Structure 1
Amino acid sequence: MKTEITSLDLLFLCRELQTLVGSRVDKIYRPDGFLFQLHKTGSGKLFLRTEKNAVWLAAAKTETPETPGGLCSTLRKYLEGKKLTSLEQVNGERILKLTFQTQQDTYSLYIELFSNGNIVLADEHGIVKAAQEERAWKDREIKRGKPYALPPAKKNFTQISPADLDSTTPISKHLATLGLGKTYAEELCLRAGTDPTSNSLTENERITLHAYLQKLLKEPISAFAYPDGEITPFALSGKTGTAYPSFSAAIDANLSKSAALTKLEKSRARFDSEKERIQNAITIQERTLTKINEDAAKQQRAGELIYEHYQELKNILDQLHAAKKKHSLQEIAQKLKGHAVIKHVNPKTQEITVEITDD
């Protein structure tokens, strides 16, 4: 995984997260995703962290908002004080199901790690009590008061047979769609000596590849983080990375750091965008103000010129008014062609254009 958990990642994480079974919910917080603070006798405080496409056992509590609101408040209402009795991956999907119980109540929390991610709380009858996102898809609906519906069933990668590895597409691509993801599909082909581009495996090749898959699924956790951002529950062939004591520790140290960096970069991008928008607005306003000042100066000067040449302009108007008594404006316009001061007479609008020299 780099930024989101694959079905195979979740299989390994479920092994680690079994340590949470038997703990009780102390508090639920909402940083970027959700943080479940649990307490287990003999272990003390434990922190289950979720983000859009990831879940892991965090080393410590992160900074959280003082007022949770929304789904976080609802989860607190129904889950705080309750005991986590089971934790499982659903049908090989990227869905983690946590069951919380008291003597009176049972609730299931579904953490969906695909698409935009979702967290759904259901009661003992499977009826949705709350969800991070309520939505209707073509093939399922998540809505309060309705039964929780899983995505359309597909082949569980932990239960595939050699025959399921028969594909007309490149085998690495086929394995990736079965739930392994691109990185682990290529790793499996490398371990099994299978050409990842092959789309016509022989029966023996399928049997060999299947055997290596079964071995991979049972491999002990030996987590690594690599310079390219890849975080894995076991070592990848031919790659050098940093070892961690657990898969969760590797995710906690690298994914959260990467998420924080991504968040910082997004904030910086938003800041730069807003800065550019404001700067553009200032530039436009400065240009507009300059034009207004220039126009105002022109208008002021025009007024001054009228005042300076008031008598001359008055004489022109008086003469034109006198001429209108004997001649039409069309005739006056013809006679005034080439006049030193009166440059144009418009008979239709009765507008006269004069030229005053700004000495």
Structure 2
Amino acid sequence: MKGQMSSFDVARIVAELRPYIGSHARKSYHPHWEQVVLRLNPKEEPQVDLVIVRGKRVYLSRRDRPMPPNPSAFSMLLRKHLLNGRFVDVRQHGFDRILTLDFDTRDGMRSLVIEMFRDGNVLLLDAEGVIIQPLTNVKYAKRILKRGEIYEFPPAQIDPRTLKIDELKPLLTESDADVVRTLASRANLAGAYAEAVCEIADISTERMAADLDDEEIAAIISGLHSLTEKLDRGTGGLVILAPAAKAPLREAGDNPLALDAVFEEHAREVLPFALPA
């Protein structure tokens, strides 16, 4: 499976999770140090697992996976607070790689915050935003993630979905890098999406950002918005599999659990939509 999710991927998983609003939380699991699993019970559907791979990705799965016989302290705490709670909302923080799920529980509102940058983290918050428990205690320059602290989001990144020409222009003209690296580092775009924007705008990926004229900058904005419109309109995604997946994919047939296992083992890339070649 691919490494870290992009902000585009996080936006798409929000859309994937919304149909499950109204589900009830079942048991939580902690199969190994980097993975947390929260089981959801939707109405009139089989149970589904929300799989959190710390610092990398979040996805839904119905694959039957072995769970440790003795739950960890963190999974027991999640069970204590979330078990039978109703899943009521999911959102992305701006266009960052941060996901928040809200649950209405017998003890009031609880939020599960999933950070998918650096080493990642999973934090349980109470109704006041106080950290009940993080998966990992962390101290940053301006944030402390430990029990009893008010949870603070990191400074918001640029949201390319709302970026305007007068906001993009100084990011480009003040850069000493090419247009792809500038869009990736300054406009909060993963490299593949920055290249796709250039393809749509008919601008060479090797062009220096500072050399672009107003017409080309407008074309970049147009290309950027065409991608974000696809993100807003669609659901699902595309999985690019390694060649070794051919035989197990054939054997899996239409079995969703078997297909899930093939995707998890052999996926090279997962995208919310097809990018221009």
Tell me which of 180, 191, 210 is aligned to 1:182: 191
Distance 1:228 1:174, change over 3 A: farther
Whole-angstrom distance in 2 between the partners of 1:165 and 1:184: 16
Distance 1:184 1:46, change over 3 A: same
Deviation at 1:194, TM superposition (A): 1.9
Report if the CA contact (8 A) 2:51-2:60 is conserved: yes
RMSD: 2.4
Within a 5 Å distance, the mapping from 1:161-240 to structure 2 comes to 161-166=164-169, 167=172, 168=175, 169-177=177-185, 178-198=187-207, 199-200=209-210, 201-219=212-230, 220-221=234-235, 223-226=237-240
Distance 1:187 1:55, change over 3 A: same
User: Per residue, is there more helix in 1 or in 2?
Assistant: 1
Within a 5 Å distance, the mapping from 1:70-219 to structure 2 comes to 70-102=73-105, 104-166=107-169, 167=172, 168=175, 169-177=177-185, 178-198=187-207, 199-200=209-210, 201-219=212-230
User: Per residue, is there more strand in 1 or in 2?
Assistant: 2
TM-score (norm 1): 0.62
Report if the CA contact (8 A) 2:87-2:103 is conserved: yes
Whole-angstrom distance in 2 between the partners of 1:118 and 1:27: 19
Whole-angstrom distance in 1 between the partners of 2:150 and 2:206: 42
**Residue equivalent to 1:67:** 70
Whole-angstrom distance in 2 between the partners of 1:107 and 1:114: 22
- Bigger relative contact order, structure 1 or 2 (CA pairs below 8 A, ≥6 apart): 2
Say whether 1:48 aligns with 2:50. Answer: yes
Q: Which runs of 5 or more residues in structure 1 are unaligned?
A: 230-241, 243-248, 260-359
Q: Which runs of 5 or more residues in structure 2 are unaligned?
A: 244-248, 250-256, 268-277
Report if the CA contact (8 A) 1:109-1:122 is conserved: yes
Deviation at 1:23, TM superposition (A): 0.5
TM-score (norm 2): 0.79
TM-superposition CA deviations, 1:166-187 (whole Å, max 9, x none):
3123221122223321112112
| Identity of matched residues, % | 26
Deviation at 1:224, TM superposition (A): 2.5
Q: How many residues align?
A: 240
Report if the CA contact (8 A) 2:85-2:106 is conserved: no
